A and B are shown apart, each in its own frame.
Chain A
Amino acid sequence: MSKSAWAYFSNYAVYSSMFVFALAFFTNAFALAWKSTKGEKATRIATALTFLGTAVLLIAIVARGISAGRVPWSNMYEFSITGSFAFALAYLATLRKYDLRWLGIFVTFSVLLTLGTAITLLYRPTAPLVPALKSTWLVIHVSAAIICGGVFLLANVIAATYLLLEKYGENRPAWAEKIPSLDVLDQLSYRLIAFVFPLWTFAVIAGAIWAESAWGRYWGWDPKETWAFITWVGYAAYLHARVTVGWKGRKAAWLCLIAGSTFLFNYVWVNVWGTGKHTYSGL
């Protein structure tokens, strides 16, 4: 296949994956509406559909990479489709140990929203890399940052669920009965962050090493660097607050959300409206 055929195929796969995620979203919605065995069946189907949608998305990303002749991580469209994949994968991986299937409706919705924005507003045809991006560090630094984004987002969804369900205590409404206990949610968001914090540290350091060879300095308080640092400080504070000061539950969940929102701010604001060395033209 030619390069443009691969690009076309990739776009087609993104649309297909969105279609599957949309099905998963509606099945999740039905699962919440129906209780008992019918609901359980719907939940299973929704999870299977999420799995399928994620697999199709992977095909889209690989095809995009083949079309560009490089890793597909050089503009916001490409970050968005890869980030959605990382987020969905983090969710599916967590399902192996924790029954979070109720979160499926949020997960499929966020993936749909991100993919929809990506393919309509952020889409750019594949193009060769500008000289500064031609480096092995593109693979290392950006992939690490994208994985972190997926896991941060999942930890945030769980922290938000915690805050949402906290007021009900033991008497949860019917739709929330299947969600794990508050303690489990609290522990889980902590585990996800403890797992991903060293990777985030690595992503920042890999970025610094790359910046040293491309821009002549390893740290220059570029807006993207500054906000990466702020996110790092936020999660470092979260881990200290939990492990050393003993914060749990509501306070910890809020801190998790604040740190997570600095990551989102960095992704959206700095890319779209910010200036600095990380803004390569065409988002």
Chain B
Amino acid sequence: MIFAARYVWRQLTSMRTALLLLLLLGIAAIPGSLIPQRTSAPMQVQEYFSKNPSRAKLYDQLSLFDVYGSPWFSAIYILLFISLIGCVIPRTIEHAKSALAKPPATPSRLDRMSFYQDFVGSIDKAESILKSAKFRIRRETNSISAEKGYLRETGNLLFHLSLILILLGISFSSLFGVRGDAIVNIGERFTNTPTSYDSINYGKLTTPSDLPPFLIKPTNFVAKYNPKTNQPTDYTLTVLTAPSPTGEAVKKIIKVNKPLKYGDTSIYLQANGYSPIVTVRDANEKIVLQGPIPFLPQDGNLASNGAIKVPDMNPQLGFVAQFFPTFEQAKGQPARSTYPEALNPRLFVAAWRGDLGLDNGIPQSIYKIDTKKLFQIGLKSMKVGQTFSFKEGSITFEGYVPWVNLQIVKDPGKSLALIGALLAILGLLASLFARQRRIWIREVSKNKLEIAGLAKNAAPGLSDEINELVRKINE
């Protein structure tokens, strides 16, 4: 039993296994870049399911829509890291021991070693030169064994230990991190509580009470575009923010590459769009719904789709709607937006009445209405200020306001991962560029010396170094 365990351990920590696991990790990462992933493209995964249900089912069973969290991907990197630890820890101990010990004794026959030559000089002088060149030295009466370049193995070990540190940082974040998204209209207030989010994911050991209690109120959002390409050139979000409901509010600017920070929580500006402002009245002119409704952008010119739902009426009302910031429609063509700024805003609505299906417990998209159980009332294209009246009531297009998608991320392990990454580079540089070598000198008779050397990993330059050393001793 112990024998078998030891055999497995030895196999796992062997260099060949580590190499195989490393290559396997690279290969295992490939499918995730070819098949849409739930974490990055949930919509495309859904599309895959509707287009190709049987294959999607098979893929799903193999975790191919979630490659990087799948059991088989995890298995590979966990085995790799066990193998790495099993390899690195004994080597670290070994390295520490040999760093404290003196270099091994000078071989008895130097003329059989590489870079051999004999010359005239004093062995004491040789010792002092080697010492000032920072070699570690074992001196015996008539011989010197000198070694330099331990940095190579130190760097190598540092690199591998740093990889473990990065993995620890990642695990720490997945246990104690939080990541959520909230769509907030300009002028509205966001309080950092679970109910304010549109979606939120907690780490395995995080609870809603761990959310820092800050407040954010976006007060102004400016998007600039290049009039030639319609591409965005700058987004600037101005917010009023306070660390807690009782704290003092200060003005801050959030930009795409400049998140707002509260400790290890960062608030990112991730997306933006328009919320048309509408007022819906019933047949008695009583207001049943009023305010901005976020719409989902469909293209670079921010033509947006949305749904206006009025559940507090009998029968209920629903408006399937489209918003065009810069409206244009050629004859016989569908309507479109030709620029992302609201230069000629237009709201298209299709009014429906009936049962919106909000009470059956199935969560609905806020951007869509299921019209299966509804009856259409009519269609209307509206400019700002216009009203569409029908038997059940009316809807008025009052204007629009931008919304921003705030992504709020608590990532407590990221500094650990960063430190690991920087140490890994340092270790890598040392392990690839430090040259480890030994030089031996023996006094054969009075002032008659012989010298030889050993370059580990075929490091270049030892021949020149020995010639230079001989020249110095001769001086």
Pick 25 A–B contacts, CB within 8 A, sort by A. Answer: A127-B228, A127-B229, A128-B226, A128-B233, A129-B233, A131-B233, A131-B235, A195-B432, A197-B432, A201-B428, A205-B422, A205-B424, A209-B418, A210-B257, A216-B259, A216-B270, A220-B39, A229-B26, A230-B26, A230-B29, A237-B22, A240-B15, A244-B15, A245-B15, A282-B229
Residues in chain A near residue B68, CB distance under 8 A = 221
Q: Is A213 in contact with B15, judged by CB distance below 8 angstroms?
A: no
Residues in chain A near residue B32, CB distance under 8 A = 221, 226
Q: Is A131 in contact with B255, judged by CB distance below 8 angstroms?
A: yes
10 further A-B contacts with Cβ under 8 Å, apart from A221-B32, A281-B300, are A128-B226, A128-B233, A132-B256, A201-B424, A201-B425, A208-B421, A217-B411, A230-B26, A240-B18, A241-B19
Tell me how far the C-beta of B209 lies from the nearest C-beta in chain A, rounded to whole angstroms: 23
B439 interface residue per 8 A CB criterion: no
Q: Is B414 in contact with A216, judged by CB distance below 8 angstroms?
A: no
Q: Which residue of B lies closest to A262 (CB)?
A: B26
Interface residues of A: mostly helix, strand, loop or mixed? helix
Residues in chain A near residue B425, CB distance under 8 A = 198, 201-202, 205
A140 interface residue per 8 A CB criterion: no
B16 interface residue per 8 A CB criterion: yes
Q: Is B22 in contact with A233, judged by CB distance below 8 angstroms?
A: yes
What separation, in Å, do the CA atoms of A127 and B22 have in the docked complex?
41
What separation, in Å, do the CA atoms of A195 and B16 have in the docked complex?
24
What separation, in Å, do the CA atoms of A219 and B413 have in the docked complex?
13
Q: Is B232 in contact with A130, judged by CB distance below 8 angstroms?
A: yes
Q: Which residue of B lies closest to A239 (CB)?
A: B432
Q: Which residue of B lies closest to A219 (CB)?
A: B170
Q: Which residue of A lies closest to B255 (CB)?
A: A131
What separation, in Å, do the CA atoms of A194 and B19 have in the docked complex?
17
Residues in chain B near residue A205, CB distance under 8 A = 421-422, 424-425
Tell me how far the C-beta of B23 lies from the nearest C-beta in chain A, rounded to whole angstroms: 5
B365 interface residue per 8 A CB criterion: no
| A interface with B by C-beta (< 8 Å) | 127-132, 134-135, 194-195, 197-198, 201-202, 205, 208-210, 212-223, 226-227, 229-230, 233-234, 236-237, 239-241, 243-245, 262, 270, 274-276, 281-282
Q: Is B19 in contact with A130, judged by CB distance below 8 angstroms?
A: no
Q: Which residue of A lies closest to B31 (CB)?
A: A226
State whether A218 and B228 are in contact (beta carbons under 8 Å apart), knowing that A131-B257, A134-B257 are contacts in the complex.
no
What separation, in Å, do the CA atoms of A128 and B429 have in the docked complex?
36
What separation, in Å, do the CA atoms of A3 and B353 have in the docked complex?
57
Tell me how far the C-beta of B261 lies from the nearest C-beta in chain A, rounded to whole angstroms: 10
Q: Is B259 in contact with A223, judged by CB distance below 8 angstroms?
A: no
| B interface with A by C-beta (< 8 Å) | 15-16, 18-19, 22-23, 25-26, 29-30, 32-33, 37, 39-41, 44, 67-68, 170, 179, 226, 228-229, 231-235, 255-259, 266, 268, 270, 300, 407, 409, 411, 414, 417-418, 421-422, 424-425, 428-429, 432, 457
Q: Is A134 in contact with B18, judged by CB distance below 8 angstroms?
A: no
Q: Is B22 in contact with A240, judged by CB distance below 8 angstroms?
A: yes
Residues in chain B near residue A243, CB distance under 8 A = 457
Residues in chain A near residue B19, CB distance under 8 A = 237, 240-241, 244-245
Q: Which one of A132, A213, A230, A236 contacts B259 once the chains associate, using CB atoms below 8 Å?
A: A213
Q: Which residue of B lies closest to A223 (CB)?
A: B33
State whether A131 and B407 are in contact (beta carbons under 8 Å apart), knowing that A218-B414, A229-B29, A245-B19 are contacts in the complex.
no
Q: Is A213 in contact with B22, judged by CB distance below 8 angstroms?
A: no
Q: Which one of A135, A223, A245 contacts B257 once the chains associate, using CB atoms below 8 Å?
A: A135
What separation, in Å, do the CA atoms of A28 and B57 have in the docked complex?
56
Residues in chain B near residue A239, CB distance under 8 A = 432
Q: Which residue of A lies closest to B429 (CB)?
A: A198
Q: Which one of B170, B226, B432 contacts A198 once the chains associate, using CB atoms below 8 Å?
A: B432
What separation, in Å, do the CA atoms of A209 and B26 have in the docked complex?
22
Residues in chain A near residue B170, CB distance under 8 A = 219
Q: Is B232 in contact with A275, judged by CB distance below 8 angstroms?
A: no
Tell me how far the C-beta of A124 lies from the nearest C-beta in chain B, rounded to whole angstroms: 9
Residues in chain B near residue A229, CB distance under 8 A = 26, 29
Q: Is A131 in contact with B232, judged by CB distance below 8 angstroms?
A: yes
Q: Is A130 in contact with B231, judged by CB distance below 8 angstroms?
A: yes
Q: Is A226 in contact with B428, judged by CB distance below 8 angstroms?
A: no
State whether A234 and B428 are in contact (beta carbons under 8 Å apart), knowing that A134-B257, A213-B259 are contacts in the complex.
no
Tell me how far the C-beta of B46 lies from the nearest C-beta in chain A, rounded to whole angstroms: 15
Q: Is B234 in contact with A198, judged by CB distance below 8 angstroms?
A: no
Q: Is A220 in contact with B40, judged by CB distance below 8 angstroms?
A: yes
Residues in chain A near residue B409, CB distance under 8 A = 216-217
What separation, in Å, do the CA atoms of A194 and B15 have in the docked complex?
19
What separation, in Å, do the CA atoms of A236 and B255 have in the docked complex?
37
Tell me how far the C-beta of A126 lies from the nearest C-beta in chain B, rounded to whole angstroms: 11
Q: Is B40 in contact with A222, judged by CB distance below 8 angstroms?
A: yes
Residues in chain B near residue A241, CB distance under 8 A = 19
Tell me how far the C-beta of B372 lies from the nearest C-beta in chain A, rounded to whole angstroms: 32
Q: Which residue of B lies closest to A134 (CB)?
A: B257
Q: Is B23 in contact with A230, judged by CB distance below 8 angstroms?
A: no
Tell me how far the C-beta of B3 lies from the nearest C-beta in chain A, rounded to whole angstroms: 26
What separation, in Å, do the CA atoms of A21 and B229 have in the docked complex?
33
Q: Is B232 in contact with A236, judged by CB distance below 8 angstroms?
A: no
Q: Is A130 in contact with B233, judged by CB distance below 8 angstroms?
A: yes
What separation, in Å, do the CA atoms of A137 and B226 have in the docked complex?
22
State whether A281 and B231 are in contact (beta carbons under 8 Å apart), knowing that A201-B424, A212-B414 are contacts in the complex.
yes
Q: Which residue of A lies closest to B19 (CB)?
A: A240
Q: Is B257 in contact with A214, judged by CB distance below 8 angstroms?
A: yes
Q: Which one of A131, A221, A230, A245 contacts B37 once the chains associate, using CB atoms below 8 Å?
A: A221
Q: Is A216 in contact with B33, judged by CB distance below 8 angstroms?
A: no
Residues in chain A near residue B39, CB distance under 8 A = 220-221
Q: Which one of B16, B26, B228, B424 contacts A233 once the chains associate, using CB atoms below 8 Å?
A: B26
Tell me how far the C-beta of B458 lies from the nearest C-beta in chain A, rounded to whole angstroms: 8
State whether A216 and B268 are in contact (beta carbons under 8 Å apart), knowing that A198-B428, A245-B16, A276-B40 are contacts in the complex.
yes
What separation, in Å, do the CA atoms of A241 and B407 have in the docked complex?
43
Q: Which residue of B lies closest to A277 (CB)?
A: B40
What separation, in Å, do the CA atoms of A95 and B30 have in the docked complex?
36
Q: Is A226 in contact with B29, judged by CB distance below 8 angstroms?
A: yes
Q: Is B256 in contact with A134, judged by CB distance below 8 angstroms?
A: yes
Tell me how far the C-beta of B90 lies from the nearest C-beta in chain A, rounded to whole angstroms: 15
What separation, in Å, do the CA atoms of A275 and B16 have in the docked complex?
35
State whether A227 and B16 are in contact (beta carbons under 8 Å apart), knowing that A131-B234, A197-B432, A201-B428 are contacts in the complex.
no
Q: Is A216 in contact with B25, judged by CB distance below 8 angstroms?
A: no
Q: Which one of B29, B256, B417, B424 contacts A131 once the chains associate, using CB atoms below 8 Å?
A: B256
Q: Is B40 in contact with A233, judged by CB distance below 8 angstroms?
A: no
What separation, in Å, do the CA atoms of A127 and B30 have in the docked complex?
33
Residues in chain B near residue A195, CB distance under 8 A = 432
Which A-B residue pairs are the 6 nearest by beta carbons? Answer: A233-B26, A131-B256, A216-B268, A223-B33, A226-B33, A135-B257
